[in-house]
């Protein structure tokens, strides 16, 4: 009887240890090939994290775009916030530094859940009511803005939206008057636009250098892409815990490991789930939710998903770390 109790206690201890090891993977930052040991490797701050919603605006479940209370969108003001931008201007204040406005002084914004490579707006329907897209026609750069960075993207309704450095440009219905910046920090995903397309009020390295972000693919939904907009994939023959790679030798001619990323340079994904893995050759590979990330040499341009479903073992990765299309 005593021996039986000891066996139960020992089994319970092993079970608890396995649960703790499994939980550790999701919060770790560095995993060594063939080892169950995990070590921190970098911070876990999400781009835009810590930004508080402004007065009269709250983060909503649909991507942080909900506006609360009175938006101040009187008939005349609403019309001003839906027309062409005309001559852009650069403004500056102590909190945000330099940011851009349209020709009438309305602050212009960008959305972290959009993508610049390729340019794509993920703000539609109710979101687009609260964050009106700036039309692409009749926009002109001014001193301090590189005209070559101005462009356009076709929205889901067929209209053309202005882009800056690839990022779709918006106004905020909650701004009561020209010069207001009430949209800054809403949902941790909306920011006034700096003249170079980065989020105003943030450090210079935060955005052009994004290394992982999310693209809303028409076929697969929200999937992770690298800093160049190329789809990233996971491999069924890899192991998430303990983290191991099943792609070696000739496999690496077709599937290229994504280099370990700086977790402050990701957008649209939980940075706490971004980890790194030391491959057998000593290089470090990025992983998300413990699954190693690869790009596919068969993808020729941003947005391609030619690797999806290859041999029934390769799949694009959703923003939650799951296999896309499953």
Residue 51 domain flag: no
The full length of the chain comes to: 326
Domain count, the chain: 2
Q: Is residue 22 a part of any domain in this protein?
A: no
Query: Does 185 share its domain with 220?
Result: no
Same domain, 153 and 90: yes
**Domain end call among 135, 160, 192:** 192
* Same domain (yes/no): 245, 299: yes
What pLDDT sits at residue 80? 66
Q: Are both 95 and 124 inside the same structural domain?
A: yes
For residue 70, what pLDDT is reported? 37
Q: Does residue 244 sit within a domain?
A: yes
So what's the pLDDT on residue 30? Answer: 56
120 and 166 together in one domain = yes
Residue 92 and residue 32: Cα distance in Å, rounded?
A: 46
The residue among 171, 141, 118 whose CA lies nearest residue 299 is 118
Residue position matching structure tokens 């053309």? 160
Evaluate whether 136 touches 162 at the Cβ level (below 8 Å): yes
Q: Do 236 and 307 fall into the same domain?
A: yes
Rounded distance, CA 115 to CA 282, Å?
Answer: 32
The answer to the question of residue 275 being in a domain is yes
| Local structure of 176: helix, strand or coil | coil
Domain boundary among 163, 192, 221: 192
Same-domain status, 257 and 309: yes
Q: Is residue 216 part of a domain?
A: yes
What whole-number distance in Å separates Cα of residue 71 and Cα of residue 253? 54
- Please give the helix or strand (H or E) that residue 31 lies within, else none: strand 30-32
Angle (CA) 5-8-11 rounded to 5° is: 150
Determine if residue 135 is left, alpha or beta; phi over 0 gives left, psi from -120 to 50 gives alpha, anything else beta: beta
Take residue 232 and report the two structure tokens written for it.
């990233």
Rounded to whole angstroms, the Cα distance separating 126 from 145 reads: 30
Cα angle 46-238-283, degrees, rounded to a multiple of 5: 65
Owner of token pair 């649209």: 268
Q: Which domain holds residue 277?
A: 212-316
What residue has token string 């099943």? Answer: 246
Spatial contact of 192 and 96, defined as CB atoms under 8 Å apart: yes
Segments of the chain scoring below 70 in pLDDT: 1-80, 202-208
Q: How far apart are CA 133 and CA 256, in angstroms?
A: 37
Residues near 21 by beta carbon (within 8 Å), at least 6 away in sequence: 36, 241
The answer on 109 and 188 residing in a single domain is yes
Query: What is the model's pLDDT at position 159?
Result: 94
187 in the same domain as 85: yes
Report yes or no: 164 and 130 within 8 Å, Cβ to Cβ. Answer: no
User: Considering the domain boundaries, does residue 321 fall inside one?
Assistant: no
User: With contact defined as beta carbons under 8 Å apart, do 127 and 72 qualify?
Assistant: no
Same domain, 166 and 265: no
Tokens of 126: 């109710």
Task: Establish if 204 belongs to a structural domain.
Answer: no
At 287 the pLDDT is 97
| Count of C-beta atoms within a 10 Å radius of residue 93 | 13
Question: 308 in a domain, yes or no?
Answer: yes
Q: Give the residue from 226, 206, 233 showing the smallest Cα distance to 294.
A: 233
Provide the CA 114 distance to its chain's centre, in angstroms. Answer: 8
Kind plus residue range of the DSSP H or E element containing 80: helix 75-80
Distance separating alpha carbons of residues 261 and 277, to the nearest angstrom: 11
Residues 302 and 233 in one domain: yes
Asked if 84 and 139 touch (Cβ cutoff 8 Å), the reply is yes
Which phi and psi (to 5°) does residue 10 adopt?
-60, -45
Are 223 and 256 in a shared domain?
yes
- Give the pLDDT of residue 29: 52
Whose tokens are 């789809």? That residue is 231
């Amino acid at each position: 009887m005593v021996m039986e109790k000891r066996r139960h206690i020992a089994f319970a201890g092993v079970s608890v240890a396995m649960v703790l090891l499994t939980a550790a993977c999701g919060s770790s930052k560095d995993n060594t090939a063939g080892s169950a040991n995990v070590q921190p490797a970098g911070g876990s701050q999400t781009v835009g994290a810590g930004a508080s919603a402004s007065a009269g605006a709250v983060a909503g479940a649909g991507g942080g775009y909900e506006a609360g209370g009175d938006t101040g969108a009187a008939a005349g003001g609403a019309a001003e916030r839906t027309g062409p931008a005309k001559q852009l201007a650069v403004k500056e204040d102590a909190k945000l530094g330099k940011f851009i406005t349209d020709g009438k002084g309305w602050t212009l914004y960008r959305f972290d859940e959009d993508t610049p490579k390729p340019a794509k707006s993920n703000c539609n329907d109710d979101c687009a009511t609260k964050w009106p897209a700036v039309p692409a026609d009749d926009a002109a750069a001014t001193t301090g803005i590189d005209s070559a960075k101005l462009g356009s993207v076709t929205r889901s309704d067929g209209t053309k939206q202005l882009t800056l450095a690839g990022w779709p440009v918006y106004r905020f219905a909650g701004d009561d008057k020209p010069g207001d910046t009430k949209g800054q920090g809403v949902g941790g995903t909306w920011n006034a636009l700096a003249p170079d397309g980065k989020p105003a009020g943030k450090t210079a390295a935060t955005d052009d250098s994004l290394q992982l972000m999310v693209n809303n693919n028409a076929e697969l939904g929200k999937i992770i892409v690298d800093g160049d907009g190329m789809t990233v994939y996971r491999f069924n023959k890899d192991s998430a815990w303990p983290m191991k790679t099943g792609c070696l030798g000739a496999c690496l001619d077709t599937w290229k490991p994504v280099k370990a990323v700086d977790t402050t340079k990701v957008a649209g994904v939980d940075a706490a789930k971004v980890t790194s893995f030391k491959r057998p050759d000593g290089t470090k590979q990025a992983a998300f939710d413990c699954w190693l990330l690869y790009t596919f040499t068969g993808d020729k341009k941003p947005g391609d998903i030619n690797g999806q479903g290859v041999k029934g073992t390769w799949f694009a990765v959703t923003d939650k770390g799951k296999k896309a299309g499953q």
